[in-house]
Structure 1
Amino acid sequence: MKVKFIRIGILLFAVLFIATGFSFRKKKEVSLFSTEGLELYFHVPTQDEVLESTPLVTENYNLFLGKTYVGFREALGFKESRGDYSIINEFGYLGKYQFNINTLKMVGVYSADRFMNDAKLQEAAFSAYTSRNKWILRRDIKRYVGRTIGGVRVTESGILAAAHLAGAGNVKKYLRSGGAEGFSDAFGTSIGYYLKKFSGYDTSFIKPNQKAKVRV
């Protein structure tokens, strides 16, 4: 009987050996979640590879400032000098906002060299001068804002920009004469042009101050 069982066992072993292809090697386990070999398979670059392959960005992007006070200041600076802090024009006007040296002295700046090498000082001078002009023109702002003079609707920002161009006294004359007493600078730029070009900005941030000085 034992011999019979042994023969049956050998026979079963032989059948199993043939059915498995004469090999007992362990099959390679394949993950059900592997994407290797498929189109979805991709290489994730390292940080160094990304930095090496990324071109330098040279485009310039301009921030939209709208009709804010900063928008007013930057628009005026661009018109005066294209926003260049280092420029001195042929008539000796200085910096981004093209200041006369006597105007700078009025707001407490006495060194042209220091002024030309300090952007923060130039911005402070603009703020102080604009505050002075707003104080000088405070009654005219109340009286004429909303009116139309020379075909231009008068706004506070337009008045302040015109004062930067021509001085507060000349703006008073222009408004009170209904535009009859005009002014143009050496390049032919007029008060009426500045009233129109810089109209509608929010200049409520500027506080009128008769004795405004630079504090840097």
Structure 2
Amino acid sequence: MKKTAMILALAALGLASQAMAQQSPWQVRARIVNIDPADKSDPVGGVGAANQITVSNKTIPEVDISYFFTPNLAAELILTYPQKHKVYLSGTNIGTFKHLPPTLTLQYHFTPAAQISPYVGAGVNFTRIGSVKLLNGLGDLENNSFGFALQAGVDFKLDKNWSINLDVKKVQIRSDVFVSGAKVSTVKVDPVLVGVGLGYRF
């Protein structure tokens, strides 16, 4: 009886350890993401003016780190390096700027144990704007932007560790535009980000 009890206890311990290993709270992903700005701004020159400030599209690499508090609930930190965009006024290139847009979202995963696992998320974005070169030095942008972020995606599991990920985010990024120190517009970058990548669950 003692031997049987010991064998059962060791077996239970092994199964528990295996279950814990399979339920690691950490996941990392690498994505390729297309940034598609909303291309909206307040009219430059006042109400009714036709001049609009727009920002170029861009495809970027992205890394995110997720922590699962429960099988369904996770937090995701989305990271990249400073990205350079062209700025246009009514279609004419007037310069460039760089932005660093880390985003933190809280996600709900509907079917975390299934091979196909969709999720939704919401959170906040902080964008640091720098290296502004507009209108030969006459133009400038507000340095920081805080905004909301919405997210939806799906993981296609390849095995217990690896998965393919599709992800869509809408992020609020806005900045006042200045010329010779005077505010002339507010540009609403507000991009949609569509990404595809590979995930690994530890």
Q: What's the TM-score bracket when you normalise by the shorter of the two chains? A: under 0.3
TM-score by length of 2: 0.22
Q: Which has the higher strand share?
A: 2
Q: Which has the higher helix share?
A: 1
